[in-house]
């Protein structure tokens, strides 16, 4: 029996040292059905003198195997950790990965700058649908059916009465319908026209509308406000020029030019030798429009203006082709 125990110890320790599977070894030698247990079970046949000697040896063998298994397990764990540390080593001197951060589109940038200027003057931002009723895009703006002003604003029709808005002016009408004066809003957004694409036209572009309605609003307020805007947008030296014009929804109406910010008004390539650059349309809200939107023109008056965001962006950044804004060529966009 002594022989057997020594044999068990020798082979078990050998296997452990050789790196065989520890769990397997534990079951084979120390488990309930293991070899050591089998030997101990046979102890009943031993004489009274032999029994304690063999018992002690058996315990010793068990302890030795257990200790060897534990020690090997510990060593394996440490080795695995070393492996992992080696594999996952972090070289802090390696150059980092740079993430390329984009930036807003030049049109968004110009729109936000413009919004900032008007917000600074107490305006808030109003929104309206791009898919609009004929009623708001035309009729409530004093452009009845068959009015010639519809020609210059031909757009895309969804049904006979529903269209893609050709201007941001319908937001004027929508705002006046639900809000009592004082009203002071700007409304930036997409507009659509059935125009062929070329260097200065696009079937989709952006406008910013402005509307102020209150008691005693005059053309003087309009002029002062637009001059403040022009100086903030194009520089302190900028002057404004109002030329008489016609819009069905304003009376009187004007087209507004700013003095050329490239040459100061002397005449250059940007202003085509004029010294002035047209930037927007404006006027006093037509009494018919006020009435149709539920505001009494005897009590209130107002002004409105509208401008193209692309136009402002093209002037500001000297972009000579509107299509560049929509093509999303990063070589163009990166420059802003
Ligand atoms: N909606 C006009 C246009 O698109 C611009 C405008 C707005 C003119 C408000 C006057 C007042 O041409």
Which pLDDT tens digit goes with each residue over 157-204?
A: 999 999 999 999 999 999 999 999 999 999 999 999 999 999 999 999
Backbone angles phi, psi at 175, to 5 degrees: -70, -45
pLDDT-wise least confident of 39-43, 130-134, 170-174, 320-324? 39-43
Beta bridge pairs of residue 185: 124, 211
Amino acid 116: pLDDT: 97
Write out the two tokens for 59: 């315990």
Beta bridge pairs of residue 148: none
Pocket lining: 280 vs ligand 1, CB cutoff 6 Å: no
Probe target for ligand 1 pocket from 150, 219, 249, with the most ligand atoms within 8 Å of CB: 249
Residue keyed to tokens 């053309």: 219
Amino acid 91: pLDDT: 85
pTM over 0.75: no
Cα–ligand 1 centroid distance for 215 (angstroms): 22
Q: Tell me the average pLDDT of the chain.
A: 92
Cα–Cα distance measured from residue 333 to residue 328, given in angstroms and rounded to the nearest whole number: 7
Amino acid 90: pLDDT: 85
Write out the two tokens for 323: 């299509």
Torsion of CA 258, 261, 263, 267, to 10 degrees: -30
Amino acid 2: pLDDT: 80
Q: Classify residue 29 by its DSSP letter.
A: I
Contacts of 89 (CB under 8 A, 6+ apart): none
* Nearest atom, ligand 1, residue 306 CA: 7
Pocket lining: 187 vs ligand 1, CB cutoff 6 Å: no
Cα–Cα distance measured from residue 235 to residue 237, given in angstroms and rounded to the nearest whole number: 6
Class of the CATH domain delimited by 106-333: alpha beta
Cα–Cα distance measured from residue 292 to residue 143, given in angstroms and rounded to the nearest whole number: 12
- The total of other beta-carbon atoms located within 10 Å of residue 41's CB is 9
% of the chain residues with pLDDT over 70? 100
Pocket lining: 248 vs ligand 1, CB cutoff 6 Å: no
Residue with the larger pLDDT of the pair 310 and 58: 310
Cα–Cα distance measured from residue 132 to residue 137, given in angstroms and rounded to the nearest whole number: 7
H or E element in which residue 220 lies:
helix 219-234
Domain ranges of the chain: 2-87, 106-333
Pocket lining: 308 vs ligand 1, CB cutoff 6 Å: no
H or E element in which residue 136 lies:
helix 134-137
Amino acid 323: pLDDT: 96
* pLDDT for residue 86 is more than 90: no
């Amino acid at each position: 029996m002594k022989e057997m125990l020594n044999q068990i110890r020798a082979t078990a320790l050998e296997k452990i040292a050789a790196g065989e599977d520890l769990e397997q070894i534990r079951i084979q030698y120390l488990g309930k059905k293991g070899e050591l247990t089998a030997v101990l079970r046979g102890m009943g046949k031993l004489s009274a003198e032999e029994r304690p000697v063999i018992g002690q040896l058996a315990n010793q063998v068990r302890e030795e195997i257990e200790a060897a298994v534990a020690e090997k397990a510990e060593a394996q764990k440490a080795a695995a950790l070393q492996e992992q540390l080696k594999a996952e080593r972090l070289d802090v001197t390696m150059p980092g990965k740079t993430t390329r951060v984009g930036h807003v589109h030049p049109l968004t940038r110009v729109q936000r700058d413009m919004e900032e200027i008007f917000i600074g003057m107490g305006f808030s931002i109003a929104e309206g649908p791009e898919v609009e009723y004929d009623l708001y895009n035309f009729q409530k703006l004093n452009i009845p059916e068959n009015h010639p002003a519809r020609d210059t604003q031909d757009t895309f029709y969804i049904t006979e009465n529903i269209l893609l808005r050709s201007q941001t002016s319908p937001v004027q009408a929508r705002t006046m319908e639900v809000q009592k004066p004082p009203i002071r809003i700007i409304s930036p957004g997409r507009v659509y026209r059935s125009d062929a694409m070329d260097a200065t036209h696009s079937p989709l572009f952006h406008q910013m509308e402005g509307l102020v309605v209150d008691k005693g609003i005059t053309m003087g307020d309009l002029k002062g406000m637009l001059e403040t805007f022009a100086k903030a947008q194009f520089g302190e030296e900028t002057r404004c020029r109002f030329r008489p014009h016609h819009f069905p929804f304003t009376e009187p109406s004007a087209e507004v030019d700013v003095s050329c910010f490239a040459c100061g008004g002397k005449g250059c390539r940007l202003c085509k030798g004029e010294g002035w650059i047209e930037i927007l349309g404006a006027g006093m809200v037509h009494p018919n429009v006020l009435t149709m939107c539920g505001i009494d023109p005897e009590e209130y008056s107002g002004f409105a203006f509208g401008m193209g965001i692309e136009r402002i962006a093209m002037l500001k950044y000297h972009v000579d082709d509107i299509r560049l804004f929509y093509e999303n060529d990063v070589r163009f966009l990166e420059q802003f």
